[in-house]
Amino acid sequence: MFTGIVTDVGEVIAVRARAQGLLHRIKIACSYDRASIVDGASIACSGVCMTVVGAGEEDGRTWFAVDAAAETLAITNVGQWHHGTRINLERPLRLMDELGGHVVAGHVDGLVDLIGRDDLPDMARLGFRAPPELSRFIAAKGSVALDGISLTVNEVEGDKFSVLIIPHTLQVTTLGDRRVGDRLHLEVDLMARYAARLMEVR
Which tens digit of pLDDT belongs to each residue from 168-185?
999 999 999 999 999 999
Same fold, 8-90 and 110-201: yes
Angle, vertex CA 188, rays to CA 183 and CA 192, nearest 5: 155
pTM of the model: 0.92
- How far apart are the C-alpha atoms of 113 and 33, rounded to whole Å? 34
CATH topology of domain 8-90: Elongation Factor Tu (Ef-tu); domain 3 (2.40.30)
Question: What is the three-class DSSP state of 77?
Answer: coil
**Domain spans of the chain, in order of start:** 8-90, 110-201
Would you say residue 202 has pLDDT above 70?
Answer: no
Cβ contacts of 180 within 8 Å, gap of 6 or more: 114, 115, 116, 117
Q: How far is CA 79 from CA 24, 54, 76, 107, in A?
A: 8, 19, 7, 16
- How far apart are the C-alpha atoms of 72 and 22, rounded to whole Å? 10
Cβ pair 200, 117 in contact under 8 A: no
Query: 110-201 in CATH: which number?
Result: 2.40.30.20
Summarised one tens digit per residue, pLDDT across range 94-109 is: 776 777 778 899 999 9
- How far apart are the C-alpha atoms of 85 and 10, rounded to whole Å? 8
